[in-house]
Chains A and B, each alone.
Chain A
């Protein structure tokens, strides 16, 4: 599995998954997903949990993971896939997840793990009552596909009858329901109630829930007016330090914020070198003064905590006194000289010292026998910055960031480019599934 390429695709290919009139799901990147899933089913599913992956890509991973057989997989892998499946189902907007379940029906995917997933979605969804009211026919289709039409309807009839003759859940009826349905659910009483609702008369025009009940990415609230000090705690504290704020108060707070940002993250068993643009423009001007440098240094502090071996090459002035022009190409060569597993170029994108050199040097690396991955992280003031003239090396993989909340996705994206980073992503996402850091 080509993790960096796949993750980049997951983050950028925003095309809906469509069910055609003929019944087949239509997705232009099916082959990419199929190949990735076959090569590493667990890594493929976990990669979809990385912050910043697009919802329609997560829907594809959910579809592909459920549609594939789990024969031959280790018990531990199956358990992980079950957790990832659940996280994806409840981490997607309900309509997206429902599209996947309907696609599974069209594909006639009837593995046991599909049954479990569909029953969980229909009967255990946190907003199942509202969902059943709004999308009853589609949910019935999925439910009957999961259990088999005859079995599903028999279960519904028996549950309805049992409710009429209170307490008759023992004997053959109870055994049948347990064997056919209730063994797939965690709460039989709630499941029975929802099956009755599923087969009850509907109400026309009820709005369906739109939001995912358990979002995979933290819900972010963007400030209406961005300032250098409302882009995350670390950067805000750094700005105050740069502006001459009280060191005795700010330094301990800074350490605390960095510790909080990195708590629970596994260590990256790799050597990472950062080329840090410390030119005058990284300091910025007027109301944006220190905004870019503070966020770049926030990233530097986080990487220093996470990476086993971490080197920084500054080009221009210094972190505290950014000045002069940036020689990004020279900085990259210096960074490569330290023998890293990964080089991260952090810049505002303005290559002042003979622009084009970074691109030429980067283009030469493969021919010069250098296989070390190089990525560029573009420090921006807001997510709406015009970056047209700020791409010093379009051939290098690049990602912009402006807020501390971007770091979760950014770290996974940059680490994906080096071999130890793939294990880091796996460990981090497994930690999320185990209820650790999210």
Chain B
């Protein structure tokens, strides 16, 4: 496994975290990340609840756990039938039992009436194509602020050019959700590096494996799956190895795999320059900051300088 010490810009240090064996599904490569867990953080599916939508662009979340702070995953969104789906532009920290209203949420379903309620909901993370814009628009009270980007994404997907993210997330759900099986969550995994083709797409880091397992589907199927689905390569004809015995075949396979693993390692981005870290909020010793660097953006939660949560993606 490969050390990730220099992947994130200073002062963030991923020393102690290690990259595992890459997995590939079409254009999407996922490298599992292992490392020290930070127990006690409330995970998003079992602890965090969408309480209600107060008005368009105003979403109320609550941390229903008896103890533990909840880290709201960056760009989490909720889908529900017959209601306007919303997504958040930023991450947040919610103490146990705390309810908080986000007035800068974006509607992701233009012209759909109705408010989301706390029933029958499932969550996603905004597709990578929208994340830089969404992050840049945090703090702006305008529920339709992402509709142009969503329309553009729909058009790029060959769908009607509308501000309905649901066109992709729901109608293509059967295809997108296959990514959670095409790429397997590994035991003990608490993060992942994602690559589209040979380009770094993002780093996702969770406090512990339970938290990561709960956000896994939303990340792999929707945050990175949409771009991977768009870039799905045509199946290639299998080229035989040059081997004249079973032993030679085994050796050829091992050699070829080593080459491909080394190739993935070469896709790692160089340490970023011109890094800016802006603290957005804090909860006791946890600090939520927005990170921008050359070609990278995202948010990280640190504790005593050590990353606890990170969602960092390319902006190019």
A residues near B (Cβ < 8 Å) are: 279-281, 285, 316-317, 323-326, 329-330, 333, 336-337, 348, 350, 352-357, 359-365, 367-370, 386, 389-391, 393-395
Contacts and interface: CB of A to CB of B under 8 A. Distances in A.
Given A353-B21, A354-B257, A324 B246 contact: no
A352 B192 CA distance: 15
A389 to B, nearest CB: 6
A364 B250 contact: no
B257 A357 contact: yes
Interface string B170-204: 00001100101111111100000000000000000
Contact of A361 (B26, B185, B186, B249): B249
A113 to B, nearest CB: 47
Nearest to B29: A354
Nearest to A390: B178
B24 A355 contact: yes
Interface residues of B, number: 37
B23 interface: yes
Given A323-B186, A348-B181, 14 more contacts: A280-B185, A285-B217, A316-B184, A324-B184, A337-B246, A353-B21, A353-B23, A354-B257, A361-B253, A363-B239, A368-B243, A369-B246, A386-B174, A386-B175
Contacts of A357: 253, 257
Contacts, number: 105
Given A356-B238, A394-B235, A395-B238, A364 B243 contact: yes
Contacts of A354: 22-24, 257, 260
B5 to A, nearest CB: 25
A367 B250 CA distance: 13
A395 to B, nearest CB: 6
B25 interface: yes
Contacts of A362: 238
Contacts of B158: none
B250 A285 contact: no
B182 A389 contact: yes
Nearest to B178: A389
A359 B256 CA distance: 14
Contacts of B186: 280, 323-325
B248 interface: yes
Contacts of B241: 360-361, 364
A325 B23 contact: yes
Contacts of B250: 333
B234 interface: no
Contacts of B175: 386, 389
B178 A368 contact: no
B2 interface: no
Contacts of A281: 180-182, 184
B240 interface: yes
Which residue, A281, A333, A354, A390, has most C-beta atoms of chain B within 10 A?
Answer: A354
27 contacts: A279-B184, A280-B184, A281-B184, A316-B184, A324-B186, A325-B21, A325-B23, A325-B184, A325-B186, A333-B249, A350-B25, A354-B23, A354-B257, A354-B260, A356-B236, A357-B253, A360-B240, A361-B241, A361-B249, A361-B253, A363-B240, A365-B249, A369-B246, A386-B174, A389-B178, A390-B178, A394-B235
Interface of B: 21-26, 174-175, 178, 180-187, 217, 235-236, 238-246, 248-250, 252-253, 256-257, 260
Contact of A360 (B22, B235, B239, B245): B239
B244 A350 contact: no
Contacts of A324: 184, 186-187
Contacts of B174: 386
A369 B253 contact: no
B260 A368 contact: no
Given A324-B184, A369-B244, A333 B253 contact: yes
A47 B181 CA distance: 37
Which residue, A316, A333, A369, A389, has most C-beta atoms of chain B within 10 A?
Answer: A389
A388 to B, nearest CB: 9
A329 B254 CA distance: 11
Nearest to A366: B240
Which residue, A279, A368, A389, has most C-beta atoms of chain B within 10 A?
Answer: A368
A361 B239 CA distance: 9
A94 to B, nearest CB: 40
Contacts of B26: 389
A364 B249 CA distance: 8
B181 A350 contact: yes
A348 B257 CA distance: 22
Contacts of A395: 238
A330 B21 CA distance: 15
Contact of A368 (B22, B180, B246): B246
B111 to A, nearest CB: 30
The 10 A-B residue pairs whose C-beta atoms are closest, nearest first, are A281-B181, A359-B238, A364-B240, A363-B238, A325-B184, A363-B240, A364-B241, A280-B184, A352-B184, A352-B23
Nearest to B238: A359
A367 B178 contact: no
A408 B186 CA distance: 35
B238 A360 contact: yes
A335 B103 CA distance: 58
Contacts of A316: 184
Nearest to B249: A368
Contacts of B253: 329-330, 333, 357, 360-361
B188 to A, nearest CB: 10
Contacts of A279: 184
A323 to B, nearest CB: 5
Nearest to A370: B246
Contact of B244 (A280, A317, A330, A368): A368
B246 A367 contact: no
Which residue, B180, B187, B236, B246, has most C-beta atoms of chain A within 10 A?
Answer: B246
Nearest to A325: B184
B198 to A, nearest CB: 15
B229 to A, nearest CB: 10
A280 B249 CA distance: 27
A260 B171 CA distance: 43
Contacts of A350: 25, 178, 181-182, 184
Contacts of B242: 367
Contacts of B235: 391, 394
Given A323-B187, A333-B253, A354-B257, A393 B238 contact: yes
Contacts of B244: 367-369
A364 B251 CA distance: 13
